[in-house]
Structure 1
Amino acid sequence: MSPPTIAIVGAGPAGLTLAKLLHSADTNLSVTIFEHSASAKARHQQGGTLDLHPESGLLALRRMGLHDAARPHLRYEGEELVIADLNGCELVHMKDAPPPADGERDGGMYTRPEIDRERLVEVLLEGVEEGNVRWGKHLKRIDGETGKLEFEDGSVEGPFDLVVGADGAWSKVRSVLSDVMPGYSGICGIEGHIDNPKEFPRIDKLVGRGSFFSFSYGRACMAQRMGDNSIKLGTWQRRPETFIDELVGEQVEQEPLRKKLLEEYRDWCPEIRELIEVAHWRTKWKLYELPVGHKWEHKASYTLIGDSAHLATPFAGMGVNAAMLDALELSDQIITAVKAGTSLDRAVEVYEQGMFPRGRNVQERTMLNKTNGFADDAPLMFMSGMIGVVAKESGWPIDRGLLYWIPITRTAYSFFWMKTSWTACSRRLRRAIWGEKSLRA
């Protein structure tokens, strides 16, 4: 009897994790990844740094036997996080966590080491057998009835017993299962880089070893420390879909764009404006999302994982972890079915029944962060909302039971309002007395 054939479309963290887990199992499976990039080195630089969660990303690495390979790239000091407003008022400053002692499991809920997305993909690629990734295969369409995959180069592959869409936001595989397309999230922006922050000591100190996120009046300036000590910077705004094209133009021209961004952030404090002044700007983005709770009627021989299934904006930091957990759960169902000689189709259906509520939770959390983070009163509502999220994750939900009658969120909002108001008043006073100059002056 020939082994079941599985096609994975997309060689990102989701697709590579699924392939590695299936290859590592003692089962008779034929697994092929189809990736549109010409080669691993030809891929466009994607993503900044992300934290891996013990119950998802780190768990998947352990199950794949790749945790030791990833360990040199895991940065526990990268957990340092500052959330501030446009005046640089710190509403929270989370310190980095010590790495687990040798032989111990990764710490608790909030022991979530950072890793550059590119390093993670490199680790996953090294774990997949050479030849299992078919590079330069840009999927054009899928014949939903025959199961054949048609590629831009004219080649045709299949049919397969299972086609897994790990092909991201604009998934071609999703079109077989659902007519729903991603919609504009209301947020757009541009990303840049500061290659050598040591040349700018106050910026270096501002960002620290982890991340510095500032929100106010529908705008954000978000800086992340990368594994090579450089800083990735993103400015994001709640604007119409056409705004970023009008701001940037067809090509990124550094000085004109820098002047426009400084004008957009003219009322922000000098420390944050200096980030904009010294960054080298690279890529403009319009962020898209699928409707919260997106699902589909099960169809034999097809399924989705990661962003293909539950695309959301990056403002909860859950995307890659959710994708790797999808891959872990799907691989478990497939392996169990193959070993038992039971229905592969039923295994996929069971996976989907578990994935839909999990994906909805990711989308709801992300939507909450996006809405509160880009509200007119951000970051006040953002921080107040985070208290509810942390309380729920810690097993003390504040929306029911005795805690329901304690105005925790309103009290927190008032505290943050007083703190930001005092900082704003102090800044206006300093500016009136001494003036306010760029830190580069």
Structure 2
Amino acid sequence: MTDLIDDLKWRGLISQTTDEKELREALKKPITLYLGTDPTAPSIHVGNLVVLLVLRRFQLAGHHTLPLIGGATGLVGDPSGKNEERTLNTTDVVEQWVKRMTAQLSKFMDFETKVNPAKMVNNLDWTAPMSAIEFLRDIGKHFSINQMLNKDSVSTRLEKDGISYTEFSYQVLQSMDFLELYRSYNCTLQIGGSDQWGNITAGLDLIRRAEGGSAHALTVPLLTKADGSKFGKTAGGAVWIDPEMTSPYAFFQYWLNSDDKDVIKFLKVFSFKSREEIEALEKTHNENPGAREAHRELARELTSLVHSPEIAQRVEAAARALFGQGDITELDEATLSAALAELPRTQVKSGEEIPTWVDLLAATGVVDSKSAARRIVKEGGAYLNNEKISGEDFRLEKSHFLCGKYAVLRKGKRDLAAVELI
């Protein structure tokens, strides 16, 4: 079990620990640990997966895991990483998000195994019954305002626009979670992102003051991309786990389009492949980066994990089919629609005469003019649904629309556009 720390280090998944030597010693036997996730949106996103999959690694190593959903802390708002107050969501909204998150977490943690099942907990269960007087007398008395003011998440806000008492109290609530789990489950380790270090160590102090006990903390570095941009963001916003918010096709493409400089790092962080398997992919990648095999393995594994192996196969087939490496007519409407969602497009109305291929390509903006589109046809680089177009006056018909709705134009090998029949 102590090999787990070495593996996490190799994967770049350890930022800080309270005492690595003592933690290694503790991990020689199964321990109980927890990770808290607040319901701040209708879905978790790929950024949440960084630490969540660390929790999964602990479970696979034989440790007892408590995924905690912040039904209470989600109503308050964590100041970490924020320069201004969060908008407080209603109780009903947070309750709905808690239900959605509960279902999503079941994809990544094993709650069914008889040997070592994960156990879901919600901090609203022990926070809601507590009165304000009990909170202040039993929990608040253990906190020093001076120490709380020195926490990075608080001091940063105080230097700018200030912080409300509500968000200032967040670290007290999170610390109470650690104390509650320590008492109820003998939980002796909390993990989280590196921005949570102050909140986690405050929990350690509370356990020491209230129970005379000791526990451990481990944080994971916040992930950034090679170009310095924030991980998990695209031009369209966050990359979500919910297929209604980020389609499986777009999810697959996010990983497939990873920067060459990032792909091995992402494999270490997100993949459950062994060190030997990842090092073999790294060798292949360095020898022939154009083949993008490491990218494909990353996209396959993550899409299979988040959605399903069947969906991963389907969206990969769609990606290949769009570029003439498969039968585009076999794609179902939902997959085809998701695959075309980010492409330049134009629309034609049902019942009206459908324009020529040249007119449509120009209308999508892929080329600057109709003359440029005509030149593509003359040079043999014009395709409709992966079939070559040979005449400049070629006009689309209703039968050309896949699923009765979409037609795919291609210029050369890589430039795609969509036509939608409305």
TM-score (norm 2): 0.25
The structure carrying a bigger strand percent of its residues is 1
The structure carrying a bigger helix percent of its residues is 2
- Greater relative contact order (Cα < 8 A, sep 6+): 1
In terms of Rg, which structure is larger?
A: 2
